[in-house]
Amino acid sequence: MENRLKTGISNVTKLVEFVLLGFSDIPNLHWTLFGIFLVIYLTILMCNSIIILVTRIDSALQTPMYFFLGNLSFLEICYVTVTIPRMLMDLLTQKGSISFFACAAQMCFVLMFGGSECLLLTVMAYDRYVAICNPLHYPLIMNHKVCVQLVTVSWISGVPVVIGQTCQIFSLPFCGSNTINHFFCDLPPVLKLACGDTFVNEIAVYVVAVIFVMVPFLLIVVSYGKIISSILKLSSAKGRAKAFSTCSSHLIVVVLFYGTATITYLQPKPNQSEGVGKLISLFYTVLIPTLNPIIYTLRNKDIMVALRKLLTKILI
């Protein structure tokens, strides 16, 4: 036992990097995947940057809803920048080595931005609740100071928790394989490589996931329950359609994002297939950020009008 412990400790000191397998199981498609993910990344950057721009410069969009949307777009840019450029580099070089520190930093930022998105989507649901259920008090309740405070809380409240959890994970002994069957340092696959009893760490993961995924999701469900109830009470069919149209884009994004996050972080560890986990992660780290700006622009008349005005100014 003593020799094994010494060997384990020795291996921990020698472990200076991990190897991300990424998409090495389909080597013939490396260049195809590189091209697809590069186009997706540039699309995400461009579309979200346009949303940020129009929500900042168009006077008609100086409302809490678009203030939150601009913040969500900036958050999406940060979120994908943590994972996709690294994935592109690995596809280009066909080397997946990542240093111990870089892996920890990547996990920390992914969890941090993911947690912030959960909270920001909750804030956006609350905004729609106040707008539809308490329209007369909306300007008073959702004043600029309150909006800034809500966004600030969304951005920073999870930071100490995420840093603590990341330090806890990476302080574990990694005395076995250093190969991560994933395209980024996500929590479940990294935790699988740890030696010894990881029960406490798994419980900590579930607790944090409940706090930052399930609690915000339940608050969103309650908000939309009250919103739908208020919409159904409206006598005008046109009024009901208009009220629901202001919420539909947000509701679609919530379902997509929370659905995949719940499967990833609240599924029991033994039941997680690495291949399925990688696919689900690809969905919420790449596909959903690509769909978000499309969902919000194509389904939002105000954004489309602002875009036309912006294009007119540029072309004239």
Residue 266: per-residue pLDDT: 65
Q: What is the pLDDT, as a whole number, of residue 113? A: 95
d(CA 173, CA 191): 10
Q: What is the CATH number of the domain that holds 254?
A: 1.20.1070.10
Let me know if residue 163 belongs to a domain: yes
Q: What pLDDT is attached to residue 101?
A: 93
Residue 143 belongs to some domain of the structure: yes
Torsion sign, CA atoms 158, 163, 164, 170: positive
Tell me: the pLDDT tens digits for 262-314?
A: 777 666 554 556 677 777 788 888 888 888 888 877 667 888 888 888 888 87
Residues 6+ apart with CB under 8 A from 123: 68, 150, 151, 154
Region of 73 on the Ramachandran plot (φ > 0 left; ψ -120 to 50 alpha; else beta): alpha
Residue 7 lies in a domain: no
Tokens of residue 169, six digits: 């994970």
Q: At 2, is the pLDDT very low, low, confident or very high (cuts 50, 70, 90)? A: very low
Q: Is residue 4 included in any domain, yes or no?
A: no
Q: Would residue 193 count as lying in a domain?
A: yes
User: Which pLDDT belongs to residue 4?
Assistant: 37
Burial class (CB in 10 A: 0-12, 13-18, 19+), 239: exposed
Confirm whether 119 is domain-assigned.
Answer: yes
| Residue reference for tokens 């297939």 | 273
State which residues form the domain around 214: 17-302
Whether residue 47 contacts residue 303, with contact meaning beta carbons closer than 8 Å, is answered with no
Q: Is residue 167 part of a domain?
A: yes
pLDDT of residue 139: 93
Angle between helices 237-265 and 274-282 (to 10 degrees): 140
- 262-269 contact pairs (CB < 8 A, 24+): 262/213, 262/214, 262/217, 264/186, 264/188, 265/187, 265/188, 265/205, 265/206, 265/209, 265/213, 266/206, 266/209, 266/210, 266/213, 266/214, 269/188, 269/191, 269/192, 269/202
Neighbours of 314 (CB within 10 A): 7
Cα-based torsion angle of the residue sequence 81, 86, 89, 91 in order, rounded to the nearest 10 degrees: -110
158-163 mean pLDDT = 93
Helix or strand or coil: residue 20?
strand
Q: Is residue 316 part of a domain?
A: no
- Based on the structure, what is the number of domains in the chain? 1
What digits encode the pLDDT tens for the residues 11-29? 444 467 899 988 877 878 8
131 is written with which tokens?
Answer: 């707008």
Q: Each residue of 212-260: pLDDT tens digit?
A: 888 998 999 899 889 888 888 877 777 777 777 778 778 888 888 877 7
> Within a 10 A sphere around the Cβ of 156, how many other Cβ atoms?
12
In this prediction the pTM is 0.87
Alpha-carbon distance of 64 to 144, in angstroms, equals: 7
Query: In the structure, what pLDDT confidence band is assigned to residue 77 with cuts at 50, 70 and 90?
Result: very high
pLDDT digits 0-9 by tens, 114-142: 999 999 999 999 999 999 999 999 999 99
pLDDT band at 1 (very low <50, low <70, confident <90, very high): very low
In the chain, which ranges are E strands? 17-20, 97-99, 179-180
Closest of 316, 313, 315, 244 to residue 58, by C-alpha = 313
